[in-house]
């Protein structure tokens, strides 16, 4: 037992020694102080950042894109960590500009958008106006629920019999859980639990990798097809969705305390850790062949950051050191010269780290990703002892 404890200290200690909360926070404040001077907060939100660009690509604040809630979320975390009211004022401006998203029913990503902005805002301010937005948004998302399938619809389809659900959608269920908690509406909670159970049953494989997409028959609820859109192949495991599952299933356990959900969260977490390279940052897909036909295989730092936020919460629930070690390895790597956004003189983007991959197939890789920065900043809580 003593030897095992010593080995654990040796494994963990390099990561503890390399980082402090102050170092992480100082860098984030420096980079986002630059970013806010380039972004029209309350009008546009950052999405993707090319390493040599001086400003982020941006999106309008009210859109169905899943990324617009992350910028307000980062601002809220910076306010929480610094107690600087400048960040609070920016966060309020960015958040309240997105209020109309609560009514958008054409996308499942309303969960990402509302919880990043209004969810964090309510957590820190207890502004009842924000809680009402969360509840309204949860009821909007609930309109996409199909009781035959047991899930909320992810992507819309032109074919009336197709009901498409993606693994990523686990991340949107926090809106249903939180909407239920704030309103007392049990139906919202039941929908989120149902969707979680179907995801575990249909998306997860025996080894806890996943199918990104499951197509159901909208009328019967039967599975029609399992496949991928963003991953390497239908049989492969796309690392970004694996990261979503680590975080999403852990969140579902937070609200339900259901043991079968915890087992699933641990399963996908162990897969993420065990299948990733030594630095904890996965390739964009775990199953891309490393051969002469694939001469360059990008990493996905944003998948790692997402997973890290789930791993540290999973550690808090289980006290399993595997998750703590995995978490620290990721944060240490993202903070090092290989991934950090200021690691080379030619890097100008006011982000925190690079090498994010949204879609290798669409040539979107080796960039800064706003959602990667969000989950990275969220993880600072551990280092700041909050």
Residue 109 known to be catalytic: yes
Residue with tokens 């924000």: 130
CA dist 212 and 205 (Å) reads 11
- DSSP letter (8 states) at residue 40: -
CA dist 28 and 14 (Å) reads 22
Q: What angle in degrees, to the nearest 10, is found between the helix axes of 239-256 and 173-183?
A: 20
Residue with tokens 């993606």: 166
Buried b (16+ CB within 10 A) or exposed e, 204-225: beeebbbbbbbbbebeeeebee
Half-sphere exposure of 288 (CA within 13 A, CB side): 21
CA dist 57 and 11 (Å) reads 39
Residue 337 known to be catalytic: no
| Residue 19: count of CB within 10 angstroms of its CB | 17
Catalytic entry in 113, 168, 230, 285:
168
Contact partners, residue 326, CB within 8 Å, separation at least 6: 269, 272, 273, 280, 307, 308, 311
Catalytic entry in 26, 65, 100, 109:
109
Catalytic residues: 109, 168
């Amino acid at each position: 037992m003593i030897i095992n404890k010593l080995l654990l200290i040796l494994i963990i200690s390099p990561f503890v020694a390399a980082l402090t909360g102050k170092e992480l926070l100082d860098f984030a404040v420096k980079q986002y102080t630059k970013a806010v001077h380039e972004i029209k907060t309350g009008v546009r939100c950052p999405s993707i950042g090319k390493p040599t660009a001086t400003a982020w690509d941006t999106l309008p604040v009210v859109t169905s894109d899943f990324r617009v809630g992350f910028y307000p979320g980062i601002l809220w975390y910076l306010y929480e960590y610094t107690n600087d009211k400048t960040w609070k004022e920016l966060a309020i401006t960015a958040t309240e500009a997105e209020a109309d998203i609560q009514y958008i029913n054409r996308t499942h990503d309303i969960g990402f958008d509302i919880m990043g902005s209004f969810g964090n805002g309510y957590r820190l301010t207890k502004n009842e106006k924000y809680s009402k937005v969360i509840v309204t948004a949860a009821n909007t998302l609930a309109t996409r629920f199909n009781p035959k399938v047991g899930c909320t619809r992810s992507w819309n389809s032109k074919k009336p019999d197709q009901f498409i659900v993606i693994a990523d959608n686990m991340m949107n269920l926090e809106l249903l859980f939180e909407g239920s908690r704030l309103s007392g509406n049990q139906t919202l909670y039941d929908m989120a639990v149902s969707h979680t159970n179907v995801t575990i049953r249909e998306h997860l494989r025996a080894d806890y990798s996943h199918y990104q997409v499951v197509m159901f028959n909208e009328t019967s609820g039967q599975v029609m097809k399992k496949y991928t859109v963003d991953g390497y192949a239908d049989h492969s495991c796309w690392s970004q969705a694996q990261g979503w599952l680590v975080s999403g299933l852990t969140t579902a356990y937070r609200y339900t305390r259901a043991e079968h959900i915890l087992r699933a969260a641990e399963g996908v977490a162990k897969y993420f850790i065990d299948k990733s390279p030594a630095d904890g940052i996965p390739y964009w897909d775990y199953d891309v062949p490393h051969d002469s036909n694939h001469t360059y295989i990008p990493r996905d730092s944003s998948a790692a950051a997402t997973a890290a936020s789930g791993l540290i919460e999973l550690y808090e629930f289980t006290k399993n050191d595997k998750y703590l070690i995995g978490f620290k390895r990721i944060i240490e790597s993202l903070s090092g010269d290989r991934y950090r956004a200021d690691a080379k003189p030619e890097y100008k983007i006011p982000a925190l780290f690079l090498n994010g991959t949204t879609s290798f197939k669409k040539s979107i890789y080796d960039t800064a990703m706003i959602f990667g920065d969000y989950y990275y900043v969220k993880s600072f809580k551990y280092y700041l002892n909050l």
